[in-house]
Amino acid sequence: MDEREKLRKFRELDDAFAAALQNLDKPMPGTQVANAYEHPEKRFSQHENERHRIFEQRLTELMDEYQLASDSVSALLQTLLKLKKIS
């Protein structure tokens, strides 16, 4: 694989990862209607757990699709955090 192809794949992965992060900020369908007797912290925790599960699933799919090792993705995330591209 030449350097241009590697760069293109990296950009695609970066774009897909950014889209996955943006999707975390969107409310999940059906979360507006909650059980009136349910404690608010419990609803928040369930919502966050579901968002986390979806994010992990999407990240795993992207890693499989682009044949990336977890070490490579970890290095990418650490770099993005250092550059303050994500929080």
Answer whether 0.75 is exceeded by the pTM. no
Residues 21-32 pLDDT 10s: 777 766 655 544
CB 74 within 8 A of CB 82: no
Structure confidence at residue 86 (pLDDT):
64
Question: In degrees rounded to 5, what are phi and psi of residue 85?
Answer: -80, -25
Q: Where are the domains of the chain?
A: 3-24+39-82
- Other Cβ atoms within 10 Å of 17 Cβ, number: 19
Query: Per residue in 38-69, pLDDT tens?
Result: 555 566 688 888 888 888 888 888 888 888 88
